[in-house]
Amino acid sequence: MSDAAMVDPVVSLHNVTKTYIRGGTEVSVIRDLSFVIPAGTFLAIMGPSGSGKSTLLNVMAGIDRPTSGSVVVAGTRLEQLSEGEMARWRARHIGYVFQTYNLIPVLTAAENVELPLALTHLTRRERADHVKTALRLVGLADRMDHYPRQLSGGQEQRVGVARAIVSDPTMILADEPTGNLDRESADDILTLLARLNRELGKTIVMVTHDPRAAERAQMIRHLEKGLLEMPP
């Protein structure tokens, strides 16, 4: 990690804990976790099922709140934000890629990608331009008017990536983005993410089970029982 990156982290967590009450007993999913992610990093988080990877990602994405500790992402202390402010903050700073793509079935590829722009003040024309650029970037400019059911899983996930980047967010968070894909489509998505990181300088945090996927990242962290372990 370079010094410059240490000075300007996109994510910094301090003593973050997340506990659930299950069957009367407290279960810690994340325990006293502190770390930083420098801007421009492509980080992979690995770990066994139930180790809290998704929970951690969701805390960074501002869609889940930690039980205690502080989370600073893109210069904002998330615990200070109200729910409405958090939503606006997410629209501005977070691009989220889902394992199950989560495209809206009644909207076309272009409309799905346009969705986050409905929360901006861009004109109709600007929105159309952004959508086209994003779809071109993922290689689906010719599938604009297709509905999700008319696309393959790999194509759907590429639309998912286009939707995540169309509003030019500070950071892209991906929860097992290749988990439902075959090898070839998975490679396409990983190549795409690596390119977004390299060429556009996007900070990317990707949760994955797959060691081959993790290898495409610059940095791998393992989460074991709520604790991050440094790679050997």
Ligand X SMILES: Nc1ncnc2c1ncn2[C@@H]1O[C@H](COP(=O)(O)OP(=O)(O)OP(=O)(O)O)[C@@H](O)[C@H]1O
> Min. distance of Cβ 99 from Mg ion in angstroms?
8
> Cα–Cα distance between 12 and 191 in angstroms, integer?
27
Q: Which of residues 85-114 bind other proteins (CB under 8 A)?
A: 87-92, 94, 96, 98, 100, 102, 104-107, 111, 114
Q: CB–CB of 204/171 below 8 Å? A: yes
Binding mask 116-145 for other proteins (x = CB under 8 A): x-xx--------------------------
Q: CB–CB of 111/118 below 8 Å? A: no
Which residues sit opposite 21 in a β-bridge? 26
Length of the chain: 232
Q: Is 123 in the site for ligand X (CB under 6 A)?
A: no
Q: Is 53 in the site for ligand X (CB under 6 A)?
A: yes
- In order of 29, 147, 172, the CA distances from 55 in angstroms are 8, 31, 16
Q: Is 230 in the site for other proteins (CB under 8 A)?
A: no
Distance between alpha carbon 174 and the CA centroid of its chain, in Å? 3
- CA neighbor of 181 nearest in space, from 203, 204, 161: 161
Which residues sit opposite 77 in a β-bridge? 72
Q: Is 163 in the site for other proteins (CB under 8 A)?
A: yes
Q: CB–CB of 223/52 below 8 Å? A: yes
Residue choice 2, 3, 7, 22 for contact with ligand X (CB under 6 A) = 22
Residue 102's binding partner out of ligand X, Mg ion, other proteins, none, with CB under 5 to 8 Å set by partner kind:
other proteins
Residue ranges in contact with Mg ion by CB under 5 A: 54
List residues near ligand X by CB under 6 A: 20, 22, 29, 47, 49-55
Give residues in contact with other proteins (CB under 8 A).
Answer: 58, 61, 63-64, 83-84, 87-92, 94, 96, 98, 100, 102, 104-107, 111, 114-116, 118-119, 163
